[in-house]
Structure 1
Amino acid sequence: MTAAFPVAPRLRPLLLFAGLALAIIATEHVVTTRAVFYQHPALPAAVVFDLLVVVPALFYWLVVRHYGLSFSTVGAMVGACLALAFWLLPASRQQPLRALAFLPALLEGAALLAAAARARRLWRAYRAARQELSWGPSLGRAVEQVLGLPGVVLVAEINMLRYAVLGWWAPVEAHPAHAAFSGHRESGFVALMATVGFLTLIETAAAHLVLGHWHPVAANWLTLASLYTVLLLVAHTHAVRLCPLLLGPQALVVRVGFAWQVAVPRAAVVATAIREAPASAPDTLNAAKVLLASPNVLLTFAAPVVVAGPYGTRRIVRRLALYLDQPQALLVALAGGAGA
Structure 2
Amino acid sequence: MTVAFPVAPRLRPLLLFAGLVLAIVATEHAVTTRPIFYQHPALPAAVVFDLLVVVPALFYWLVMRRYALPLSTVGAAVGVCLALAFWLLPASRQQPLRALAFLPALLEGAALLAAAARARRLWRAYSAARLQLGRGSSLALALEQVLGQAGVFLVAEINMLRYAVLSWWAPVAAHPAHAAFSGHRESGFVALMATVGLLTLVETAAAHLVVGHWYPAAANWLTFLSLYTVLLLVAHTHAVRLCPLLLGPQALVVRVGFVWQVVVPRAAVVATAIREAPASAPDTLDAAKVLLASPNVLLTFAAPVVVAGPYGTRRTVRRLALYLDRPQEFLGALASGAAA
Q: TM-score, normalised by structure 1?
A: 0.72
Corresponding position of 1:197? 197
Corresponding position of 1:152? 152
User: Structure 1 residues 227 and 250, CA, compared in 2 at 3 Å: closer, same or farther?
Assistant: same
User: Structure 1 residues 216 and 245, CA, compared in 2 at 3 Å: closer, same or farther?
Assistant: same
Structure 1 range deviating more: 225-234 or 122-131: 122-131
User: Structure 1 residues 321 and 61, CA, compared in 2 at 3 Å: closer, same or farther?
Assistant: farther
User: Structure 1 residues 56 and 271, CA, compared in 2 at 3 Å: closer, same or farther?
Assistant: farther
User: Structure 1 residues 243 and 317, CA, compared in 2 at 3 Å: closer, same or farther?
Assistant: same
* Counterpart code for 2:138: S
Q: TM-score, normalised by structure 2?
A: 0.72
Deviation at 1:283, TM superposition (A): 0.3
CA distance in 1, matches of 2:275, 2:320: 14
CA distance in 2, matches of 1:248, 1:56: 54
Unaligned runs of 5+ in 2: 1-7, 19-51
Do 1:204 and 1:226's aligned partners in 2 also have CA atoms closer than 8 Å? yes
Corresponding position of 1:25? none
CA distance in 1, matches of 2:336, 2:186: 25
Q: Secondary structure at the match of 1:246?
A: strand
Do 1:67 and 1:149's aligned partners in 2 also have CA atoms closer than 8 Å? no
Deviation at 1:238, TM superposition (A): 0.8
Corresponding position of 1:230? 230
Corresponding position of 2:240? 240
CA distance in 1, matches of 2:242, 2:127: 23
* Counterpart code for 1:140: A
Unaligned runs of 5+ in 1: 1-8, 21-51
Deviation at 1:111, TM superposition (A): 3.0
User: Structure 1 residues 291 and 225, CA, compared in 2 at 3 Å: closer, same or farther?
Assistant: same
CA distance in 2, matches of 1:155, 1:63: 26
User: Structure 1 residues 293 and 98, CA, compared in 2 at 3 Å: closer, same or farther?
Assistant: farther
Write the deviation string for residues 98-156 of structure 1: whole angstroms up to 9, x where unpaired.
87776555444433322332344434444554466544343333322222111101111
Matches within 5 A, 1:263-302: 263-302=263-302
User: Structure 1 residues 337 and 267, CA, compared in 2 at 3 Å: closer, same or farther?
Assistant: closer
Q: Secondary structure at the match of 1:336?
A: helix
* Counterpart code for 1:223: T
Matches within 5 A, 1:61-210: 64-65=64-65, 67-75=67-75, 105-130=105-130, 133-210=133-210
* Counterpart code for 2:313: T
Deviation at 1:223, TM superposition (A): 0.7
CA distance in 1, matches of 2:100, 2:66: 29
Deviation at 1:330, TM superposition (A): 1.7
Corresponding position of 2:261? 261
Structure 1 range deviating more: 130-139 or 192-201: 130-139
Deviation at 1:266, TM superposition (A): 1.4
User: Structure 1 residues 61 and 155, CA, compared in 2 at 3 Å: closer, same or farther?
Assistant: farther
Q: Secondary structure at the match of 1:213?
A: helix
Identity of aligned residues (%): 84
* Counterpart code for 1:280: S
Corresponding position of 1:334? 334
Write the deviation string for residues 178-233 of structure 1: whole angstroms up to 9, x where unpaired.
22111111111111000000000000100111111111111111111111111111
User: Which fold has the larger relative contact order, with Cα–Cα distance below 8 Å and residues 6 or more apart in sequence?
Assistant: 1
* Counterpart code for 2:152: V
Given the alignment of the two structures, is residue 215 of structure 1 paired with residue 224 of structure 2, yes or no?
A: no
* Counterpart code for 2:223: T
Q: Secondary structure at the match of 2:316?
A: strand
Larger Rg: 2
* Counterpart code for 2:312: G
